[in-house]
Amino acid sequence: MSAPKTQTLERQEQIVQAALELMNDCGVTGLSIAGIAEKVGIVPSALYRHFTSKDAVLDAVLDLIRDRLLDNVAHAREKTPVPLKQLNLLFTRHIAMLSENRAIPHVVFPMLYTMDSLTGKPKSHRLSPLTSKRLNSSLNPGVRTAPSANQ
């Protein structure tokens, strides 16, 4: 269970990637600090040296997803100046990313995947305020959103 000592940034990247892989295997509800730590090869308390909470890990996962999406856009723009070819390449890269990381839609849109166990219907058709705020800040970096009435 003892992983070699690594630099902070490298360890944070390992933790975020492990969280994404764990969600691929177990879903968002299966994500736990203990599970992430085990996948990385550290004790759970060591994970708190890098992230303050599971929500902080999820925020880092959202950042990783955003960065990968933007990398796909940059790649498509570099490969060809033809917009239709760019779109095709972008679509292909996004689909490949989603097929490798089945958890991405569940992380980005968790309320869309929460089902009522009695009726089998979605519990909600809208994003939670926290998810909406995170998604908005990821898509519009540097743009502050107004605080909600609950804050």
Mean pLDDT of the chain: 81
Q: Compute the distance between CA of residue 54 and CA of residue 107 in angstroms, rounded to an integer.
A: 13
In the chain, how many domains are there?
1
20 domain residue, yes or no: yes
Which is nearest to 23 in space by CA: 94, 100, 85? Answer: 100
Is residue 78 scored above 80 in pLDDT? yes
Burial, 36: exposed, middle or buried (Cβ in 10 Å; 0-12, 13-18, 19+)? buried
**Is pLDDT larger for residue 65 or for residue 108?**
65
Instruction: Classify residue 144: in a domain, yes or no.
Output: no
CATH number of the structural domain spanning residue 31: 1.10.357.10
Average of per-residue pLDDT across 45-55: 94
Q: Which residue has the tokens 């498509």?
A: 76
**The two structure tokens encoding residue 77:** 């723009």
Q: Is the pTM for the entire model greater than 0.75? A: no
In a domain, 131, yes or no: no
> Does pLDDT of 137 surpass 50?
yes
Mean pLDDT confidence for 110-127: 56
Which structural domain range is residue 95 located in?
A: 8-108
Is residue 40 domain-resident? yes
Nearest to 32 by CA among 46, 44, 49, 17: 44
Q: Which H or E run includes 23? A: helix 8-26
Candidate from 3-7, 89-93, 104-108 with smallest mean pLDDT: 3-7
Q: Which of 8-17, 30-39, 46-55, 142-151 has the lowest mean pLDDT?
A: 142-151
Confidence of residue 49 (pLDDT cuts 50, 70, 90): very high
Residue 129 inside a domain? The answer is: no
Residue 139: inside a domain: no
The residue whose two tokens read 């892989």 is 21
Residue 123 domain-assigned? no
In a domain, 142, yes or no: no
Q: Of 50-54, 85-89, 102-106, which range is least confident?
A: 102-106
Name the least confident of 32-46, 56-70, 77-91, 107-121.
107-121
Q: Is-contact 40 3, C-beta < 8 A?
A: yes
Provide the terminal-to-terminal Cα distance of the chain, rounded to the nearest Å. 40
Residue 92, pLDDT above cutoff 90: yes
